[in-house]
Amino acid sequence: MNLPGSPFLARDGDRLCLDGIDLATLGQRFGTPLYVYSQAAMLDALARYRHALAGRKHLICYAMKANSNLAVLQTFAAAGCGFDIVSGGELARVLAAGGRADRIVFSGVGKTAAEMEQALLAGVRCFNVESVSELRRLSGVAASIGRVAPVSLRVNPDVDAGTHPYISTGLRDNKFGIAHEQALDAYRLAASLPGLRVIGIDCHIGSQITQTAPYLDALDKLLDLVETIGRDGITIEHVDVGGGLGITYTDEQPPRAEALVAQLLARMDARGHGHRELLLEPGRSLVGNAGVLLTEVLYLKPGATKNFCIVDAAMNDLMRPALYDAWMAIEPVQSRELQALRWDVVGPVCESGDWLGRERELAIAEGDILAVLSAGAYGMAMASNYNSRPRAAEVMITSGEAVLVREREQVTQLCAGERLLPMESAPESGD
């Protein structure tokens, strides 16, 4: 059988194993729903980028929105990575996991003044600024606390990354970045504001990108701008091409990270920009294929037109299928001598959109554990408590051991911050 994604995921006889560890055993030991990650798979994905960047000025800023578990951040911090963050909460997580502030780039269209101050005091490496108003606000905040904010402008290069509309970000109609034709004026303004120091240029064109051409087009547009603003006397030290490299969920064949990086560096060299530092913000491609979601089959409900396999994980645990119509492979962790039937794998949440996979050929019985593959990115990070469901536990496999890196949430934690109304404000009972 061909498993999409990670070489770390393999069948050992009738058992599905991640990094050599039997997933059925993990499901029984830690309960389900359960996210399981392989640290080795994450480091292997990082090494692919690193390999192609060897000997070049670069910084890999892991886009932690993909998976912000502290143990994941700790893994990348210890490997020397930087981080791409989009909120004060993400900043606090990086610091709690031992990440260095001077390797953080702060992206996002809606940074608040409080978040700017928090990041300035922490000493982040760069703010990726997305509008002229944000430039002014950042300069004001920095000046008010006697700091200078290092900035790069996120330019919207208006290239089509050829991906799902919800995760395409580099088109003119998207809310992200500063339009290419307005960038020169914005850079001039940035250079004139007292609280700012221009250091870079940035873009991010989308996610789950499976070709190199959109990256090269975007890079060309950034380099055109670097040259134009350079003639204005503004020097750009680093070029940040964002994240977005896709992974294999089913039969996609995205370029390998090495190939993408090699082409980017070659283009920079060819255009005389080889001396500038290259920044990358990969998220999914570092963690996506390093994780699975384990879920138990609660009930099998064969029907006249559809067979439903009701599992204990739901759209609140893994939102990608419901939100993007995303196809993610589903495999039993233990194969069985049963006749395979076609099942819709659905969760307990009260919505018809609550499904993890449709029309899947599976040989399964109630009580079996299934693994949703390629769930290491935008899985747990997007989980919610909808239907008052506590969030799943997370386990990391490291050096052959499975370590619990997030406890299963308890129902008491769900209402922890809530308050009943004082008795006098409560509506009269109708009795």
Contact positions vs ligand LLP (CB under 6 A): 63, 65-66, 84, 107, 167, 204, 207-208, 242-245, 281-285, 320, 324, 378
Residue with token string 């001077």: 102
Using the minimum distance from each CB to ligand LLP, give the nearer residue, 125 or 320: 320
Torsion of CA 173, 198, 279, 101, to 10 degrees: -110
Using the minimum distance from each CB to ligand LLP, give the nearer residue, 109 or 143: 109
**Cβ partners under 8 Å of residue 194, min gap 6:** 139, 143
The distance in angstroms from the start CA to the end CA of the chain is 63
Joined tokens for residue 74: 């700790």
CA distance 337 to 145: 68
Neighbours of 7 (CB within 10 A): 9
Say which amino acid occupies 377.
A
CA distance 59 to 278: 7
Q: CA 48, 49, 53, 59 torsion: positive or negative?
A: negative
Provide, rounded to whole angstroms, the least separation between the CB of residue 50 and ligand LLP.
Answer: 16
Catalytic annotation present for 126: no
Joined tokens for residue 34: 């359960």
Using the minimum distance from each CB to ligand LLP, give the nearer residue, 175 or 275: 175
Provide, rounded to whole angstroms, the least separation between the CB of residue 296 and ligand LLP.
Answer: 24
Using the minimum distance from each CB to ligand LLP, give the nearer residue, 50 or 204: 204
Using the minimum distance from each CB to ligand LLP, give the nearer residue, 332 or 376: 376
Provide, rounded to whole angstroms, the least separation between the CB of residue 326 and ligand LLP.
Answer: 7
Strand partners, 163: none
CA 148 to chain CA mean position, Å:
29
Using the minimum distance from each CB to ligand LLP, give the nearer residue, 31 or 162: 162
Q: Could you tell me what percentage of the chain is helix, strand and coil, using 3-state DSSP and rounding each to the nearest 5? A: 35, 25, 40
Q: Which residue is nearest to ligand LLP (CB)?
A: 283
Provide, rounded to whole angstroms, the least separation between the CB of residue 299 and ligand LLP.
Answer: 28
CA distance 14 to 173: 49
**Cβ partners under 8 Å of residue 230, min gap 6:** 236
Using the minimum distance from each CB to ligand LLP, give the nearer residue, 214 or 243: 243
Say which amino acid occupies 260.
L
Residue with token string 């006749």: 339
Provide, rounded to whole angstroms, the least separation between the CB of residue 294 and ligand LLP.
Answer: 19
Provide, rounded to whole angstroms, the least separation between the CB of residue 244 and ligand LLP.
Answer: 4
CA distance 138 to 189: 12
| Burial of 77 from C-beta contacts in 10 A (0-12 / 13-18 / 19+) | buried
Provide, rounded to whole angstroms, the least separation between the CB of residue 192 and ligand LLP.
Answer: 26
CA 380 to chain CA mean position, Å:
10
Neighbours of 306 (CB within 10 A): 13
Catalytic residue among 126, 203, 350, 415: 350
Looking at the annotation, which residues are catalytic? 350
